[in-house]
Each structure stands twice: as structure tokens, then as C-alpha cells.
């Protein structure tokens, strides 16, 4: 009886090895994989079709008068209208988002993940931030109209009744702030605790650990959130209309000087939506060309963020 025990143990071990190494056909997993791959291919196909359609529609303008389109100002005729004032407005909006929303969002994420205790107050703030990320953009436009245009109009734009680039930039900074906080917090939360413990083990303070270890490790994720936020800010139109973006002619707004921040403004989404509603083939071509210019600007911003992200990933 004792001699059969090793044989029984060997058989049980062989059975376990067989169960682990046996490869069965996972039909359900294969179906899910095919469905997900099909969804990816379909999404990319739709994106390619849209890009090809936009480039084709605006090719007559892009190939013959791209320089005039980029340097011209708003006008009543498609052949003389340009995007210089809209590019200026979008540029300053992106600058406001980077200067105002990014530092505040990253700082709030650092506090919530590294300093705040896991209590009711922190959970309450986290829930509200996630809810604010899903609020429609028009609500933020009403907020900007009430606070930055009406209440603070003497500061944001005394000569334009508060309808200025400053009001637009602050409104869109508030709009994307929850997104930056959420993505930054997720990136900081993904940092292994061993990195923090190693820093504390050599006598570093909490701020030194956050500054020298946590933030460099989380930088790629934070930069991804920043890119998404800037891209959304550049593509929003409803809040800009509410805070006073010009949909018609604009006699000012040709200078990039800081003094022009309190003047009336326009932006690329406003110009695109305005031109798309005008009749005629020429206006449709100009609209498609403006969309291509806007896509190029967003891609350039994304490329810069990707380079920074790769830099931090190499250091990590």
C-alpha cells in the first residue's frame, strides 16, 4: 500500500500539469477578439474616409492659396477670407489651458493621490470631479458668460464688455480641468509603491519623493491627459459662442501682443461652423481647408507631447 503512494502522487502531478498545459479552443474568446478587431478596423475606416473627404473637398484651396488662407482675415468673399485671426484666438486659448488648467490640474491630482487621506472629503471631491468631466460644454459656456464676461468684464475686457480671449481661455480652462485632474491622478496612482518606499527609505521627504520619483514616472500619462485636454479645448465651439466669439467680421485681433487679449476674438471652430453655413461651392472648399488646418495644428500639438512623453519614458 505504501509503494502505491508515490505512484498516486505522480499521477496527480501529471494530471495537474496536463490541465495547465492543455490548450483548448477558446471559442468565446476568439469571437470577442474578432468583434473587437472589427470595431477597430471600422473606426479607422470611418476616420480615413472623413479625412480623405475633407482633404479632397479643400484641395482646391490648399493647393492654390494656402498662404492667403493662413494669413488672410475674415471677409465676405471666400477667395479673400483667411484664418489668421482664428488661428490667433485658438493659439491663445491653448496657451491659457496650458498655463492655467495644467498646473492646477496636476497640483490637485498630486494632493488627492499623495497628501489627502482616504476619507469622506477626498471621496466626495473625487466623485464631483468625475461628474464635472461629463457636464456638457454649453454649461461651462454659461458659467463663463456669468463669471468671466458679466462679473469680471472690467478685468477680462473693459473695451469689449468682457467678450475677450481672456474670458474664452479661462472658460475652456475650467472645462478641461476635470479631465486633467482625472488623467493625472490615474497616472500618479499607477506609480508602483516600491518607488515611493525606496525614496522614503533613504530619508527623502514626501515632496522630494513626489518631485524626483513619482512625477517623472507618471509624466507620460500626465502628458497624454494634457494633449487630450488641449485638443478638446481647441475643438469646442459652444462655450466660445456664449462668451462672445465673433461669428462675422473682426476688425481687430490681428496682433499677438498681450494687449490684444482684452479685445474681441474668434477661433477656428467658430470660423468653421460659420463658413459651413454659407451657400456656395467656394465656401464649402474653404470650410474643408479650414478643417484641415485645424487638424494639422492639433497633430502638431500631439507630436510635441509624444516627443516629451518618449523623453520621460526613456528616463524612466
Confidence of residue 24 (pLDDT cuts 50, 70, 90): low
Mean pLDDT score across all residues of the chain: 85
Q: Is the pLDDT of residue 40 over 90?
A: yes
- The pTM is what? 0.81
Mean of pLDDT values over 204-232: 87
Q: Is residue 47 in a domain?
A: no
Q: Is residue 259 in a domain?
A: yes
Q: Is residue 143 in a domain?
A: yes
Radius of gyration of the chain (CA): 27
Q: Is the pLDDT of residue 171 over 60?
A: yes
Number of domains comprising the chain: 1
Q: Is the pLDDT of residue 6 over 60?
A: no
- List phi, psi (to 5°) of 113: -95, -30
Domain coverage including residue 254: 56-315
Q: Give Cα separations from 85 to 91, 242, 311 (angstroms).
A: 10, 19, 34
Q: Is residue 292 in a domain?
A: yes
Instruction: Judge contact between 181 and 107, C-beta under 8 A.
Output: no
Q: Is residue 23 in a domain?
A: no
- Among 138, 129, 142, which Cα is nearest to 180's? 129
- Of the listed ranges 151-160, 178-187, 243-252, 298-307, the least confidently predicted one is 243-252
137-149 pLDDT, tens digit each: 999 999 999 999 9
Mean of pLDDT values over 71-76: 82
DSSP states of 22-65: -----HHHHHHHHHHHHHHHHHHHHHHHHHHHHHHHHHHHHHHS
Q: Is the pLDDT of residue 126 over 90?
A: no
- Greater confidence (142 vs 258) lies with 142
87-117 pLDDT, tens digit each: 988 999 999 999 999 999 999 999 999 888 8
Q: What is the pLDDT of residue 5?
A: 52
- Among 248, 250, 241, which Cα is nearest to 278's? 248
Is the Cα torsion angle 129, 134, 137, 141 positive or negative in sign? negative
Percent of the chain scoring above 70 in pLDDT: 90
Task: For residues 16 and 12, give the distance between their C-alpha atoms in angstroms, rounded to a whole number.
Answer: 6
Instruction: Judge contact between 54 and 288, C-beta under 8 A.
Output: yes
Domain with 92 in it: what CATH number?
Answer: 1.10.3720.10
Q: Is residue 224 in a domain?
A: yes
Q: Is residue 11 in a domain?
A: no
Confidence of residue 1 (pLDDT cuts 50, 70, 90): very low
Q: Is residue 35 in a domain?
A: no
- Residue carrying the nine cell digits 524626483: 212
Task: For residues 286 and 80, give the distance between their C-alpha atoms in angstroms, rounded to a whole number.
Answer: 10
Amino acid at each position: 500500500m505504501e509503494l502505491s503512494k508515490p505512484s498516486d502522487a505522480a499521477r496527480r502531478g501529471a494530471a495537474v500539469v496536463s490541465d495547465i498545459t492543455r490548450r483548448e479552443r477558446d471559442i468565446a474568446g476568439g469571437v470577442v477578439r474578432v468583434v473587437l478587431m472589427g470595431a477597430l478596423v471600422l473606426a479607422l475606416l470611418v476616420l480615413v474616409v472623413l479625412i480623405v473627404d475633407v482633404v479632397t473637398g479643400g484641395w482646391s484651396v490648399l493647393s492654390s492659396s494656402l498662404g492667403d488662407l493662413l494669413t488672410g482675415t475674415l471677409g465676405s468673399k471666400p477667395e479673400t477670407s483667411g484664418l489668421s485671426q482664428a488661428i490667433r484666438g485658438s493659439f491663445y486659448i491653448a496657451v491659457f489651458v496650458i498655463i492655467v488648467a495644467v498646473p492646477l490640474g496636476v497640483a490637485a491630482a498630486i494632493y488627492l493621490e499623495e497628501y489627502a487621506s482616504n476619507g469622506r472629503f477626498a471621496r466626495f471631491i473625487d466623485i464631483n470631479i468625475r461628474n464635472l468631466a461629463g457636464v456638457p460644454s454649453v454649461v461651462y459656456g454659461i458659467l463663463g458668460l456669468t463669471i468671466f464676461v458679466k462679473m469680471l468684464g472690467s478685468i477680462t475686457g473693459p473695451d469689449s464688455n468682457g467678450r475677450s480671449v481672456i474670458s474664452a481661455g479661462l472658460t475652456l480652462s475650467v472645462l478641461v480641468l476635470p479631465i486633467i485632474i482625472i488623467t493625472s491622478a490615474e497616472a500618479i496612482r499607477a506609480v508602483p509603491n516600491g518607488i515611493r518606499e525606496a525614496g522614503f527609505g533613504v530619508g527623502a521627504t514626501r515632496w522630494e519623493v513626489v518631485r524626483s520619483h513619482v512625477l517623472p514616472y507618471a509624466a507620460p500619462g500626465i502628458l497624454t491627459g494634457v494633449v487630450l485636454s488641449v485638443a478638446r479645448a481647441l475643438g469646442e465651439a459652444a462655450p466660445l459662442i456664449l462668451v462672445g466669439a465673433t461669428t462675422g467680421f473682426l476688425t481687430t485681433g490681428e496682433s499677438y501682443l498681450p494687449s490684444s487679449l482684452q479685445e474681441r476674438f474668434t477661433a477656428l471652430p467658430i470660423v468653421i461652423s460659420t463658413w459651413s453655413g454659407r451657400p456656395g461651392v467656394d465656401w464649402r472648399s474653404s470650410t474643408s481647408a479650414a478643417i484641415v488646418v485645424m487638424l494639422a495644428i492639433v497633430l502638431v500639438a500631439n507630436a510635441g507631447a509624444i516627443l516629451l512623453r518618449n523623453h520621460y519614458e526613456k528616463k524612466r
